Chain A
């Protein structure tokens, strides 16, 4: 592996690491700032100071960020969008944004337009595209001052021609407008794909500003290496693509932390317990990647088909409040105020960090501040935290055999040594910056999810694989290094004939000479 810097921009801390073929070279933690550029610049400066100026010569920089998902959850920094639905005469019963939380819909809704067109399940046209209607919609969008549109046509994952033609007309009529086409976000399921498309369209201003701010931070400290942004699935994309598809960056935090745990421990299959300031996130690594959740994933109340890691979060972290008489542990947390409010830092709130220091598990702050703490209290509080963690691990486990567990996150010392069903708790160096490590080691992925008509199963899978590989290469993967990580076929029920839906996901290393971003 060449030299890479991985950065995780979290709510409280920005972590940065430099990783090469031998492992982690250096790591730092610095506070996240409201101004994106100065926070990342601060973290990079600190990292360079700790390693030396050679750190500027890295081959690539990977950044994981929660900016985009937070924007949706908090309904801020979103731009207004126009929705184009190309499905008439079908699908008119349920308009775009139909099942969105009202407050979010109000923020982003810049008008919906229904157009005749789209495809049938075999990729054929339902009816010819009504180009005049598209032109009219484009003029109305232009007059309304909307600068971002989402286009969704029925069965567009089978044939993108219809959406492409609509996009062409719109960009001709509305110069400079930004367009998200639903086929680029994959997946069968019109409403969910449209939701993802519209969320994406509403994040484009923020995505441009954020990636520009990241790039500027790199330039400021003299790093010229290409910038990559980490995605939900533990892989990265070029900042150029992230700018166009911010929705793919939604859940990168937990994924990075689990991938980092795999790298730091050398284990590919294990439970990962990541104890942060507010929560412990417990998930399961399979083949070095997080196991994904079964269910439809809602982002800020919007139904999508994104794959997210299957995690259980509980209110156990370094900042978790501990109450006496009667004893209570969490789920409330002092959060980012830990350094002011915890007893060992001179505050007045008893937290699990104080309990860990009193128990000799951590060595931070001023021990004398808690010398009056009765042993019965801190041992009972610790036992409660241990029990909550153990119970959750039992829930996430799928194997009746004992399995190994990797302890990561700043609060990792709170994880007990002995847990029922766990063969061994692996404590790893740099556990506090596992998420930044996960960002640094990320690869590039490509996916295909399409319906194939009159293909044999093998031919359909082969065709899907080819599309997935091309998508990965387009995103900057080295063709030679590509590996399949998921491949499945689903026959389409209740239709005579041979319609098969095939889904393939591949990953590969970043190509040696990626395009400058």
Chain B
């Protein structure tokens, strides 16, 4: 993988990072645009954000992951006040009686790819190059830190009105359940600081290099667009990804269940894929890609991204509409997710699909 290491984040990096973040959003996670603007504002005030390799961090340092929690649609209307981040981080620091050494990105896909950079710039702390998902997932416990035995709690939540709350729950799934209810009372969205961990814990449990990765993805897409080429081929080459399918959206079926936008969309093949169809299942994010005969082509936690056929721009599950011309693009997930514990957290069966996980490389092996 040709990913160049990110050393610090300047204003001029934010467009690439936001675009790479929406790519790793795999159709969900909201638009990184607002976080991008906030980061640009904060960086112009406080200067670039230093990016640290987790290997260079002292073992006893405190690292605080942050994210927005709630409905991305709400965040489109209720932009942050700007003080929530400081409030959440300070609340957690006060509870722990210790200052943070660095901020961490909980989720490198979607809206949450850029929010932590805004938080780091605002609090004038460095950010660690990594994240807990390597993509977007819908729930708090779906992070590598859960596999590493790190507790999401104590967790701090803060809203724009000045409310801040500390949670202590028995396990990370419970954290998700309680926190979800509180976001509703906070008006549909709040800023969270959670999974406080030491440098030593982070070295064992985070997914490394995620910020460098989204920066590289964004810069590939932008440079290929500028050269009037669809970025899919270079992304496939550089990231060991797979161009799964090419076609036109024939049908989209959406429904809400338990607060999640579930549904599927059928893509009718064009070009080399003429005469065939692919069906994508989504629950906020794309989770399953299968042929019309039910043969899987990509399964969660491997990444399924939908790209505009002309521009290579990532398309979210909320945006898909009949007639869109798209590329279905697959990317292998971090090897940590392919462990037994990883698949229990985010495998097809956790989301209610009757598939046993198989890696995307095997599903698409050339015979």
- Whether a CB of chain A sits under 8 angstroms from the CB of B357 is no
Interface pair A286/B321, CB less than 8 Å apart: no
Tell me whether chain A's interface is mostly helix, strand or loop, or mixed. loop
Specify which chain A residues have a CB less than 8 angstroms from the CB of B254 in the assembled complex. Answer: 489-491
**In the bound complex, what is the Cα–Cα distance between A299 and B255 (angstroms)?**
33
Specify which chain A residues have a CB less than 8 angstroms from the CB of B146 in the assembled complex. Answer: none
- Whether a CB of chain B sits under 8 angstroms from the CB of A399 is yes
**In the bound complex, what is the Cα–Cα distance between A91 and B84 (angstroms)?**
11
**In the bound complex, what is the Cα–Cα distance between A87 and B259 (angstroms)?**
25
Distance in Å from the Cβ of A85 to the closest Cβ of chain B?
A: 10
Interface pair A494/B248, CB less than 8 Å apart: no
- Whether a CB of chain A sits under 8 angstroms from the CB of B313 is yes
Of chain A, the residue at the smallest CB distance from B188 is: A121
Contact string against A for B residues 251-272, beta-carbon threshold 8 Å, 1 for contact and 0 otherwise: 0001110111100000001110
Which residue, A88, A90, A189, A498, has most C-beta atoms of chain B within 10 A? A90
Interface pair A155/B313, CB less than 8 Å apart: no
Interface pair A94/B274, CB less than 8 Å apart: no
Of chain B, the residue at the smallest CB distance from A190 is: B77
**In the bound complex, what is the Cα–Cα distance between A493 and B315 (angstroms)?**
16
Specify which chain B residues have a CB less than 8 angstroms from the CB of A493 in the assembled complex. Answer: 28, 71-73, 138, 256, 259-261, 284, 318
Distance in Å from the Cβ of A306 to the closest Cβ of chain B?
A: 15
Distance in Å from the Cβ of B29 to the closest Cβ of chain A?
A: 10
Of chain B, the residue at the smallest CB distance from A89 is: B160
**In the bound complex, what is the Cα–Cα distance between A99 and B261 (angstroms)?**
30
Tell me which residues from 172 to 194 in chain A have a Cβ below 8 Å from any Cβ of chain B: 188-191
Interface pair A399/B188, CB less than 8 Å apart: no
Task: Choose from B38, B138, B311, B315 the contact partner of A93 (Cβ within 8 Å).
Answer: B38
Interface pair B71/A94, CB less than 8 Å apart: no
Interface pair B184/A126, CB less than 8 Å apart: no
- Whether a CB of chain A sits under 8 angstroms from the CB of B76 is yes
Q: A398-B248, A400-B274, A496-B258 are in contact. Are A291 and B323 (CB under 8 A)?
A: yes
- Whether a CB of chain B sits under 8 angstroms from the CB of A332 is no
Interface pair B37/A99, CB less than 8 Å apart: yes
Interface pair A495/B261, CB less than 8 Å apart: no
**In the bound complex, what is the Cα–Cα distance between A188 and B34 (angstroms)?**
14
**In the bound complex, what is the Cα–Cα distance between A120 and B187 (angstroms)?**
6
Q: A126-B187, A190-B78, A489-B254 are in contact. Are A98 and B73 (CB under 8 A)?
A: no
Interface pair A94/B260, CB less than 8 Å apart: no
- Whether a CB of chain B sits under 8 angstroms from the CB of A395 is yes
- Whether a CB of chain B sits under 8 angstroms from the CB of A383 is no
The bracket for how many chain B residues form the interface is 35 or more
- Whether a CB of chain A sits under 8 angstroms from the CB of B97 is no
**In the bound complex, what is the Cα–Cα distance between A91 and B80 (angstroms)?**
5
Of chain B, the residue at the smallest CB distance from A500 is: B256
Interface pair B76/A190, CB less than 8 Å apart: yes
Tell me which residues from 273 to 298 in chain A have a Cβ below 8 Å from any Cβ of chain B: 286, 291, 294-295
Tell me which residues from 294 to 348 in chain B have a Cβ below 8 Å from any Cβ of chain A: 308, 310-311, 313, 315, 318-319, 321, 323-325
Distance in Å from the Cβ of B325 to the closest Cβ of chain A?
A: 6
**In the bound complex, what is the Cα–Cα distance between A491 and B73 (angstroms)?**
10
Specify which chain A residues have a CB less than 8 angstroms from the CB of B323 in the assembled complex. Answer: 286, 291, 398
Of chain B, the residue at the smallest CB distance from A98 is: B37
Interface pair B81/A90, CB less than 8 Å apart: yes
Contact string against B for A residues 419-459, beta-carbon threshold 8 Å, 1 for contact and 0 otherwise: 00000000000000000000000000000000100000100
**In the bound complex, what is the Cα–Cα distance between A500 and B261 (angstroms)?**
10
Contact string against A for B residues 209-239, beta-carbon threshold 8 Å, 1 for contact and 0 otherwise: 0000000000000000000000000000000
Interface residues, chain A, with chain B CB atoms under 8 Å away: 87-94, 98-99, 120-121, 126-127, 154-155, 188-191, 286, 291, 294-295, 312, 395, 398-400, 451, 457, 488-501
21 contacting pairs across A/B (C-beta < 8 A): A87-B79, A90-B80, A91-B81, A93-B41, A93-B81, A94-B37, A98-B37, A98-B41, A121-B71, A189-B76, A294-B324, A312-B310, A398-B323, A398-B325, A451-B73, A493-B284, A494-B69, A494-B183, A495-B70, A497-B259, A498-B256
Taking A87-B79, A120-B187 as given, write out 12 further A-B residue pairs in contact, using a Cβ cutoff of 8 Å, ordered by the A residue number.
A90-B187, A92-B82, A94-B34, A94-B79, A191-B79, A398-B323, A490-B261, A491-B254, A491-B255, A494-B71, A495-B183, A497-B184
Interface residues, chain B, with chain A CB atoms under 8 Å away: 28, 34, 37-38, 41, 69-74, 76-83, 118, 138, 160-162, 180-181, 183-184, 187-188, 248, 254-256, 258-261, 269-271, 274-275, 284, 308, 310-311, 313, 315, 318-319, 321, 323-325
